[in-house]
Amino acid sequence: AATAAAVAGDDANDMSPLSQLSAEAPSELPTGATIHVVLVSDEVAPYGLVGAINSTFSSSPPEDQRRLFFHVIVPASIQVLISRKLGRIFPPQLTISVMAAPERRLERLSSRLQAVGVATPPLQLPLLWLQLALPSDVKRVLLLPTDTIVLTPVAEIYGVALGEKVAAAFEDCSLLLQTYFNHNHKLFQGHGRLNCVFDTELLVVDVHAWRRDDLSQKLLELQGLQRRTESLYMQQVFAVGSTAPALLLLDKRALRLPGRWLAHGLARESWSVDESFYWHRHWGQQGLHYTFSARPVRAFHAVATPRREAGDALLVRFSGGLYRPWVKRCTSKGAPATAAVSLCGRRQTDCAALWWRYASEANAGVIEARETDGAGALLMLHSATPCVADPASANRKARDAETKLLDADEHTKPAAIAAAAAATDAQGLMSTTRNRNALRASIPNSSLARFQTVSKKK
């Protein structure tokens, strides 16, 4: 950890001071109460679990560490294996319960979801079954995705005053509800189309209120392309995903936590056009100026030692893409990739350094172990970590292929030259195909035909 901190640098003064937060309601967490943290995973190599658990434990003071209780829910087929791995890595005083997911409930959910076009495995939709897997005496949980690291005492988040709400979620104003929903639909009545979205996976959940209101059943009714939800979603793909239905269910039932407390999307290759404009404007208002770009993803508020008065992120999520810190990245020729996928802090260092503060390469053999022997000991026989193409090399390869295609026709050489010049001016940030899709998304449908005609003439 000391070595990683030295490489990451001192981020204590990374952010210019922001205004103080408004007065907050006192914590609802009774003194000495157990802090229940739930993590759901189906990965045989639990890198994410190790980082999430270790960061939560390390960032909490000693009096809170004794109250932490981690509920790790995994498929029954790997329950023993994951339990052995976590037992080898973490000390015995850390309370970790590795539980098998409710298989029968998941089987029934799978058949019902498939009938309405949802292909997402039910295990990845814990809001549909979580209340069935937890002991009846658990009143509140922090649902923590395994791609998250916690940089603050978790009791601050866990004990937030929910009031009459059933959950608390981190706001994300880079996207609005109108991105997902048709505001003219009757099911959307009463919701503000310009409301910010929020993270639907990282939640503080009042389990008793969730059971009382039968919200799992209500969420299930919003899943898929059904007659009741026909034309509710702006795109059909939203109906078969997990984000949009949860947004609609929790919009008025969830307490909105400040968006700057969470840095998310750090496993993504780039922002969307709308997100790029939002973050460029947001950081500009904080006095942090940079050349407008969609990639790489930047999180100036994600620092190793966050300060709330400075507006630093209290949690960091490597979500939204394949390029997580523990995934091996390689170039098109198979060589290890060195370019950072996302940049953090005012010094804009590789965000992966934040995650590796809470994981040790010395544990890689334990994490990668695939089976146990008859006595339950781990067998350190692991396959090679899969190689994921580096985004920078993938984009370069796509641009090269597009240039060759244009150069193949003598009549299109001027267009190829113009495209190369445009790519140079934009510093290679977006390919021609992505620009065309962005333009298509921003032009009203009534103008698309005319736009296409003009493009063909040119």
Q: What is the pLDDT of residues 410-438, one digit of tens each?
A: 343 344 434 444 444 444 334 444 444 43
pTM, to two decimals? 0.78
pLDDT, one tens digit per residue, over 128-179 is 999 999 999 999 999 999 999 999 999 999 999 999 999 999 999 999 999 9
Amino acid code (one letter) for 435: N
Q: What is the pLDDT of residue 148?
A: 97
The confidence band for 328, taking pLDDT boundaries of 50, 70 and 90, is: confident
pLDDT at residue 89 is higher than 60: yes
The percent of residues in the chain predicted with pLDDT above 90, rounded, is 54
Q: What is the pLDDT of residue 409?
A: 41
Q: What is the pLDDT of residue 452?
A: 45
Which of 54, 70, 261 is closest to 156 using CA atoms?
Answer: 261
Q: What is the pLDDT of residue 399?
A: 43
The confidence band for 240, taking pLDDT boundaries of 50, 70 and 90, is: confident
Mean pLDDT to the nearest integer, 317-341? 80
Encoded tokens for 127: 């809001």
Q: What is the pLDDT of residue 309?
A: 84
Per residue, what are the HEC states of the chain?
CHHHHHHHCCCCCCCCCCCCCCCCCCCCCCCCCCEEEEEECCCCCCHHHHHHHHHHHHCCCHHHHCCEEEEEEECHHHHHHHHHHHHHHCCCCCEEEEEECCHHHHHHHHHHHHHCCCCCCHHHCHHHCHHHHCCCCCCEEEECCCCEEECCCHHHHHCCCCCCCCEEEEEEEEEEHHHCECCCCHHHCCCCCCCEEEEEEEEEEEHHHHHHCCHHHHHHHCCCCCCCCCCCECCHHHHCCCHHHHHHHHCCCEEEECHHHEECCCCCCCCCHHHHHHHHHHHHHCCCCCCCCCCCEEECCCCCCCCHHHCCCCEEECCCCCCCCCCEEECCCCCECCCCCEEECCCCEECHHHHHCCCCHHHHHHHHCCEECCCCCEECCCCCCCEEECHHHHHHHHHHHHHHHHHCCHHHHHHHHHHHHHHHHCCCCCCHHHHHHHHHHHCCHHHHHHHHHHHHHC
Q: Which CATH superfamily is domain 35-260 in?
A: Spore Coat Polysaccharide Biosynthesis Protein SpsA; Chain A (3.90.550.10)
pLDDT, one tens digit per residue, over 262-307 is 999 999 989 999 999 999 999 999 888 888 888 899 999 999 999 8
Q: Which residues 6+ apart lie within 8 Å of 6 measured at CB?
A: none
Encoded tokens for 443: 């032009």
Furthest-apart CA atoms within the chain: distance in Å: 76
Give me the chain's average pLDDT, please: 80
pLDDT at residue 456 is higher than 70: no
Q: Which residues 6+ apart lie within 8 Å of 45 measured at CB?
A: 367, 368, 382, 385
pLDDT, one tens digit per residue, over 338-375 is 677 899 999 999 999 999 999 988 888 889 888 766 66
Q: What is the pLDDT of residue 283?
A: 92
Q: What is the pLDDT of residue 394?
A: 52
pLDDT, one tens digit per residue, over 44-85 is 999 999 999 999 999 999 999 999 999 999 999 999 999 999
